[in-house]
Amino acid sequence: MVENKRAKINDNCIACGSCASACPVDAIKLAESGDHYEVDMAVCIACGSCASACPVDAIKLVEVK
Ligand code: SF4
Ligand code: SF4
């Protein structure tokens, strides 16, 4: 776990749901719009599993304060 990072999903997301399935802390949900997923940064522990699971490389770990 990286304390000062969180996963962030960008516009490349095709809403396949693989990241949500891979997340050990259930931090990823389908957005209200239904066309992409989003990370609850308050829950994410920056394990990186979602980024590894994404088929379109839409998830990056970003620095947070
Ligand atoms: S980095 Fe880990 S904890 Fe954070 S959203 Fe991705 S799978 Fe979940
Ligand atoms: S795995 Fe990638 S493409 Fe699939 S829902 Fe997650 S961010 Fe979107």
The pLDDT of residue 6 is: 97
Cα–Cα dist 47/32, whole Å: 25
Cα–Cα dist 28/53, whole Å: 12
13 lines ligand 1 (CB under 6 A): no
46 close to 7: Cβ distance less than 8 angstroms? yes
Range of the domain at 16: 5-63
Report pLDDT digits (tens) over 5-55: 999 999 999 999 999 999 999 999 999 999 999 999 999 999 999 999 999
- In this predicted structure, the answer to whether residue 1 has a pLDDT above a threshold of 80 is no
Residue 12, domain CATH: 3.30.70.20
Q: How do 5-9 and 28-30 pair as beta strands? A: unpaired
Which one of the ligands is nearest to 53 CA?
2
Split into its structural domains, the chain has a count of: 1
54 lines ligand 1 (CB under 6 A): no
Q: Is the pTM of this model over 0.85?
A: yes
The pLDDT of residue 3 is: 75
